[in-house]
Chain A
C-alpha cells in the first residue's frame, strides 16, 4: 500500500505535467489556426467520446506540417540550428579538452579548487553570463576598444549580432558541461600506461594520441552530447547575441508563438524539433549505459 502511493504520487505528477502536455502539443500541431482565444480550433475533444476520436483519426490534418515544408524559413532554421550546434560542439571540445587535460595533470591539492572554479559558473545565472558578452562584443565594446588601442584594427569589428557571437556564447556557457566529463575520464586514467607507451618508444604526442585520447573517449562523447543537445534548441543565446539573420529553431518557435501568435505552427515546429532530438538523446543514453556497465 505504502509502496503503491510512493510510486503513484510522482508518477501521476509527471503524467499530468509532462506527458499529457506533450500530447496536447501534438494534438494542437494538427489543428487549424483560428483568430480567437485560444488561437486554434480544437481538433480532438476527449470529452465527446469514441465517435469523436474515430472522426479525428478519419480527418487527420497535417496541414501545419505541410506548411512547414513549403515555407523554407523552417527548413533553413532546422539546418542552421544543426549546423550551429554541431560546430559549436566541436569548438567547445577544442577549448574544453586542454583545460580538462590541464586539470587532470595539476597537483592533487589544486584539483578541488579547479573543480569548483569550473562548477561555479554553472550555478550563476545563464542569462547574466550570456548578457556579459554583449558589453564585450559590441561595436564600442571592450574587445574592440582593446584591439583599436593596440592598433591591431583600424575600425571596430562587427561581431555582436552575427553567428560568430552565437558560437562564442554557446562555447562560453556550455564549457563546464564539456570539461567535467572529460576531466573525470582523464582523472581515472592509469598513468603507467603512458609510461609504458613512452618506454616502448612512443613520443609524448603519439602516446597522447594512442593512449590518452582513446581512454578518454567516453568522456568526450558524453561532453559532446551534453553540449549538442541543449545547443540545438537554444533560445536565449541566439536572441541576445545573434542578429536578425541568425536562424535557430528555438528562436523561430518563440517568435511564432509570442509574435505571430500562431500556436498550431509553433506546436508543429516543436514536434519536429523533438523528432530531430530523439536520435542524439538515444545515442547519449546508450553511451551512458555502456559506461555504467563498464564501471559496473
Chain B
C-alpha cells in the first residue's frame, strides 16, 4: 500500500507535532534558549489542535495503522490543547531549574505524538507504538529533575519504578496481543466473537484479552495494578505528574474503548466480570486509601484510581445498553476528568517550583485568604472531582449514573455512590484546610511570582468547568455525534 499526499494531509496533526519536536530539537542545537523552545512547542501544539479541527468530518483509514475519524480527531484536539496547557504551566515551574531546561519541551512534544497516535489507532502495532512513544517520553519527563542539586522530589525513584512496571505491563500487553493474533490472524482490531471454538478454542482469546486488560490496567492504574501510581505521582516533578495523570490516562482509555468495541470483547465469558471486579476494587481502594493521605499529589493519585474505576462502569454498561450511551458517558467523563485534573494540578504547580513543591495539604492552609482566586479555582476543581452540580464533574457523573441505570448495574451503582460518598470527605478536607485562617506567615509567602500565562490557563479551565457544568448541551451534542464512529 502506498501513501499518497492526500493521506499525509489526513495525519496532519501527527506531522505537525513531529515537526514541532524536530524544530525544537534543532533550536536547541543552534543555541539554548528556554523561552524560544517553549514558544515553539506551545505554538506547535496549538497548531496541531487547530489542524485536527480543520479535518473535522473526515472518516478514513490512513494505512492499516491509523484511523482518522471524528472520534479520534476530537480526542486529538483535546490532547493537543491539554498538552499546550501543560506546556504553559511547566514554563514557570522549570524556569529556576539548575540544569538544562529546554529538552523538557522536546519530551512534551514527543509524548503528545504518542498520545495522538494512540487515540487514532485501531491496530495493535500502532497502539503499541503510540503507547511506547508516550511512555518513553514520560520516563524522561518523570526523571527530568534528576541531575538538579535542589530538586525537591525523588525523580529517580519515581522514574525507575515507572520504567520497570511499565515495561512489565507492556510485556503483558504484547503477550496478549500475540495470543489474539494467533486466533484472528490479523493485527488489526477485529471481532473475536465469531471465532469458532473448534480450532484452538476461544479460551486463548479470553486469556489474551485478560493479559491485555492487565497491561492496560497497569497504565490506567486500576486496582490491583495501581501500586506504582502514588509513588510516581509524588516523586515526579509536577508538570510530569500532570501529564501522566491527564493525557497519559485519557489516551490509553480511548484505545481501550476502541479495542473493546471493535473486538466485541465484552461478549466473551468472564470479561465483564473481570472488568466489574476491577471497577469495584479501584473505586473502593482508591477512595479509601485517599482518605489516609497528607500529600496532595498522592491524594490525587488515589482519587485518579477511583475515577478510572468509575469510568469502567460505563465500559461495562456499554455492553448492556442499546445505543451508545456508554461510549458517550466515557467520552464526556474523560473530557471532564482532563479539565478538572489539569485544573487541580495546575493550581498545585502554580504555587510550586522545581526546588520547592507545595504538596502537603497543610501547605494550603489559609490559601483562600491569601490567594482568593487560586483557592476558588482549586475549590471548584475539588467540587468537580467530587461531582457537585454547577461543575462539569457533575454532568460527567450524571452520564455514568445514566449509563449504569440503563444497563441496570445496581451493584456497580452502589459502589459508585459509596465511593463518591467517601470521596467527598477527602476533597472537602482540602477545601476546609484552604478556608482555615492561615497559621503562620511562612507558608506560601515566598510564593513565586505567578505567571500570567498560568493564570490564563487555570482561569480558562475554570470557565470550561463552570460553562460545561451549567450549559453542557453543545459538548453533549458533539459527543453524541462522534460516538457513533467508535
Partners in one complex: no
Residues on B facing A (Cβ under 8 Å): none
